[in-house]
Amino acid sequence: MREVDVAITAEDGVLLAGTLSLPVGVGPHPAVLLLHGSGRLDRDANAGRLRMGFGQPLAAALAEAGIAVLRYDRRGVGGSGGDWLTTGFVDNRQDAVAALRALADRADIQAGAVGVVGHSEGAVHAMALGSRPDVAAVVLLAGFARDGESALRWQARKIIGGLPAPVRSVLRGVGNRQLARVKASGADVVRVVGSKLNARWMREMLVHDSRSNLATIRVPVLAITGDKDVQVDPADLDRIRELVPGEVEVHRVPELTHLLRRDPGRPSVRSYPRQLRQPVDAEVLALVTTWLARRLVA
C-alpha cells in the first residue's frame, strides 16, 4: 500500500494530522474512516507505553482487499493541534465528522463507498455517523449499546472484580466519590487522586446514550465484541442486533479481549501488558476485511 500524510480541518479550525493508506492501483478507491478508543491516542491507537498498534495492521489488511483507510491523531496528540485534556466527547464526534467529510471529498476516494470502523469510544462515534448519507457501512468493535454512565459502571465492576480482594472495597468507595465530584464540577479539567482528568469528556460521555443512534442506522452493520472483554459488556451485542433496523451481523468472539487479542486466562486489565506483546487477532482482521470488501468493493 501507499501512505500519504493528510491534514484534516476540524469544525473550529484545529488541524488534525492523519495518514491515508491507499491500495495499489488506480483509484478512485472505496475507503473507511478508522476511529480509535478513549484516551490520548495517536493514529495507530498508541498512548505512551500502552501501544495497541491497531491502525497499521488494519490498514494493511484492508489495502490488500482494495480499500483505503484514513486514521488520525487525537487533538493534542502527535501531529494534531488542540489540547487533549480539554477536548470533550462531543468534540471527538465532531472531529470524526470532519475526518469523514475530508475522506469522502477526495478525488481518489470512490463516492458512495465509504465506511466507518470504530473501536470502543470510536465505535460509539461510528454509531452516530452511521445514519449519515455519505456512510455505506459501519463496523463496531467493542461498542456499548446503553447510556455512558451504565457502561462506565459495568466496566468499573468488571475491572475491580479482577483485582486483589483487599483493594476492591477501597477502590469502589473512591470511584463513587470521584465520579460524583466530576459530575458536579463545571470545569474542563479536575484533579482526581493527584492526576488531571478530562472532566468535560467524562460528563459528556456519561449522558450519551448510543441506543438512539443505533436505531437510525440504515446501512449494513458488523458488530464484534470479545467474550473476555472487561470494558464493554458482550451482552450489548444482543441490543445492537435488536436496535439496528437494517442488516446487522454480530459476533461474540471466544477469548477475545478489549485489546482485540485472544487470552485464555482470567479476564483482567492486569494482563494487558502481556496481551500487547501479541499481534492484533488475525481472525478479527480477516472478518472485518472480508465483510467490508463484500459491501464496499465493486
Look up residue 102 and give its three cell numbers.
Answer: 475530508
Q: Write the burial class of residue 24 (CB in 10 Å: 0-12 exposed, 13-18 middle, 19+ buried).
A: exposed
Q: Is residue 183 part of a domain?
A: no
| Long-range pairs of 111-114 with CB within 8 A, sequence gap ≥ 24 | 111/28, 112/136, 113/30, 113/31, 113/296, 113/297, 113/298, 114/30, 114/31, 114/32, 114/33, 114/296
Q: Does 24 fall in a domain?
A: yes
pLDDT at 191: 86
For residue 149, being part of any structural domain is answered with yes
Number of compact structural domains in the chain:
1
- pLDDT of the chain along its 298 residues, tens only? 899 999 999 999 999 999 999 999 988 999 999 999 999 999 999 998 889 999 999 999 999 999 999 999 999 999 999 999 999 999 999 999 999 999 999 999 999 999 999 999 999 999 999 999 999 999 999 999 999 999 999 998 888 876 555 445 445 555 677 888 888 888 999 887 778 889 999 999 999 999 999 999 999 999 999 999 999 999 999 999 999 999 999 999 999 999 999 999 998 888 999 999 999 999 999 999 999 999 999 7
Give me the pLDDT at residue 6, please: 97
Q: In this predicted structure, what is the pLDDT of residue 98?
A: 98
Q: Identify the pLDDT of residue 170.
A: 43
CATH number, domain containing residue 48: 3.40.50.1820
Q: What share of the chain is helix, strand, coil (3-state, %, to 5)?
A: 40, 25, 35
Q: Whose CA is closest to 127, among 113, 141, 114?
A: 141
Joined together, the cell numbers standing for residue 293 give 470488501
In a domain? residue 41: yes
Instruction: Give a yes or no: residue 239 inside a domain.
Output: yes
pLDDT of res. 291: 98
Residue 167 lies in a domain: no
Expressed as residue numbers, the domain containing 92 is 2-156+209-296
| Three cell numbers, residue 204 | 459528556
50-51 and 15-22 beta bridge pairing: unpaired
Q: Is residue 37 part of a domain?
A: yes
User: Which pLDDT belongs to residue 160?
Assistant: 80
pLDDT, position 193: 74
CA 15 vs CA 7, 83, 117: distances in Å:
6, 12, 21
Which H helix or E strand runs over 9?
strand 2-9
Contact 112, 135 (CB under 8 A): no
